[in-house]
Amino acid sequence: MALIVIAADKGAPGVTTTALALAAVWPRPVLLAECDPSGGDLVYRFPAAQGGPLDPRRGLVTLAVAARRGLQPGQLWEHTQKIVGGLDVLTGVINAEQGAGLATLWGPLGGLFAGITARYLALVATTLPGDSADDIVARDTARTIVLTSAKSAWDYRQTVDGLPLFGSFWDRDAVVPGTGGQEARFVAGAVESSAVAERDLSVQLSGWMLMEAAHSVTAAA
């Protein structure tokens, strides 16, 4: 599985069009996630696969609502829709105000996507068929990414009550939440994550998904 990010300076044209074109011709199954905090436009530009409009209430915002209870990888697809042509999309916020309401959640959501990516990379490393040079390189690269990321996340973990506490970023020290500071809460249709992201279940779930991926890769070696 590949995770490709397309970004540009604020107001620069062409990002959505480029992302759609790339997703449309990608040779494997694709999920296009619209993560522009200033507001996306997929719901306005494209009809649903069945011919009606896309549901603006279903997408990144509903995923954020679900995240307050913790997420499993399969739940991501419950918040996606198909546009005409059959492409799966995770529609973004519809305006900057809605994006601001999710401001503190972008980090944890990014971490969760990273955990999901690690799980699929483990599948590439262990099940990708073929004996060509490209196939071998793809498997080796996926394995290296998973194991290197897992080692970094483990090295930078903290320990609380004898158990690992993973950081929201795998390349820096995890922060142990104190007794103060804001905890995750549901406000006006959006989720505000904790002041210390390590407190949130999505961050810890992502870390354990990475460890699970590393175990799968190591066991198959």
Mean pLDDT by 10 residues, the chain (221 residues): 68 79 86 84 88 88 75 80 91 78 62 81 92 93 95 96 91 83 45 64 88 96 80
Instruction: Give 83's contacts (C-beta < 8 A, 6+ positions apart).
Output: 42, 46, 47, 48, 49, 54, 89
Phi-psi sector, 31: left (phi>0), alpha (psi -120 to 50), beta: beta
* 3-class DSSP assignment, residue 9: coil
Question: Is this structure's pTM higher than 0.85?
Answer: no
Contact 84, 46 (CB under 8 A): yes
What pLDDT does 144 receive? 95
Q: For the chain, what are the domain ranges?
A: 15-96, 105-220
Distance CA 104, CA 191 (A): 8
For residue 23, give both structure tokens. 């997703």
What pLDDT does 12 receive? 65
